[in-house]
Amino acid sequence: MNKPIGIISRKHKNITVLQRIMTILVESSSTVVVAPSQIALCLSSYKKRYDLGVKCFWKVKLLVDSGVRISGKNVKPVYDFIAHMQNTVVALYRAVETSANLSIPDDFEYKKKRSQGVWDAYTKEAIERKISTSEKIADILPVVIGVPSPNGQDFWDGFLAFEELRNEIIHPKSGNFERNGGEFLDVEFQKKVAKTVELIGYFVTTRPNDRRFPVGFGKSEVPIFATEDIEQRFVKFGET
C-alpha cells in the first residue's frame, strides 16, 4: 500500500493518519480501498513469479534426479520455470524503473553534456523516455532524493548485469535464443536478483520517511506534519 502520513492538529491535540484512496467499481457496486503503491505492486509480482519458478525448479530437479527423460508432458515444468523467471526479471526491473520515474519531480530538469561539448536539457517526460534506468538511478535519483550515488556500491555491478539480462528478454536477438533459459539455473542469476533487490533497499533505507517508497520494504517511517486545525485543511470522506 502507499505510505500514510500523520497530521497533528494542535487545536484537537491529536494525530490523524491519512492515505490516498481509490474507488473500485464492480458492475453496479463500488467500494473504496487504500490506493496501492506502484512500486509495491511490482515487487509483489516479482516475488510471486520467483516463488512459482522455484517450485518448478524443484519439480525439474526431481525428474532429473530420478533419471526420467524430460520429454512430452514432463517438459512442462521446465518451460514453466523459464517463463516464471523471465517474468521475475521483468517485474523486478519494473520496480526499479518505477522507483526512478515516480521519484523525479514534475519540474525537474536534467542537463547532460554531449561529447561535442553541447549541453542537452531534459524535462521529466524526456527523462522517462530517453534516459536509461541505470543512468536515472546513478545520476538523477541521488540528486532528487539527496543520497550518495549507488554507483560503486557492492550491488551496482550485479544490477547492471541484471539490467542486461532484462534487455535481452525484452529486446531478444537471434543470438540470445541459444541460451534457452539455462542462465536462470546459474547461481549468478540468483546473485543478480539479490543485488537488484538490494539496490531498491538502498534508497528505501537511506530515506525511510520518504513517501515515494512503499510500506513493508525494509525500515519505514511515517512522515508527520503539523497544522493548527485539521478541519480547516481537510474534509472528512463523504462530506461536501
pLDDT per residue rounded down to tens, the chain (240 residues)? 577 888 999 988 998 888 888 899 988 899 988 888 888 899 999 999 999 999 999 999 999 899 888 888 889 999 999 999 999 999 999 999 998 998 899 999 999 888 777 899 999 999 999 999 999 999 999 998 888 999 999 999 999 999 999 998 988 876 665 566 778 888 889 999 999 999 988 887 777 777 777 766 666 778 888 999 888 877 766 554
End-to-end CA distance of the chain: 26
Cα angle 49, 52, 58; round to 5: 140
Q: Does one domain contain both 13 and 125?
A: no
- Whether 179 and 198 map to the same domain: the answer is yes
Tell me how far apart the alpha carbons of residues 218 and 95 are, in angstroms, rounded to a whole number. Answer: 15
Nearest to 110 by CA among 120, 102, 96, 97: 120
Q: Are residues 128 and 236 in the same domain?
A: no
Beta bridge partners of residue 41, listed in sequence order: none
79 and 167 both lie in a single domain:
yes
> What pLDDT was estimated at residue 201?
85
Residue 128 shares a structural domain with residue 86: yes
Query: Same domain, yes or no, for 106 and 85?
Result: yes
Rounded to whole angstroms, how far apart are CA atoms 37 and 2? 5
The DSSP secondary-structure symbol of 75 reads G
Could you tell me if 33 and 44 lie in one domain?
no
The pLDDT, as a whole number, for residue 180 is 61
Question: Is 31 in the same domain as 52?
Answer: no
pLDDT of residue 68: 84
Q: Tell me the C-alpha distance between 44 and 50, whole Å.
A: 10
- Specify whether 21 is located in the same domain as 93: no
Q: What is the pTM of this model?
A: 0.83
Residues 33 and 116 in one domain: no
CA distance 88 to 96: 13
Same structural domain, 17 and 136? no
Q: How far is it, in rounded angstroms, from Cα 86 to Cα 171? A: 12
Domain that holds residue 191: 39-214
Number of independent structural domains in the chain: 2
104 and 207 together in one domain: yes
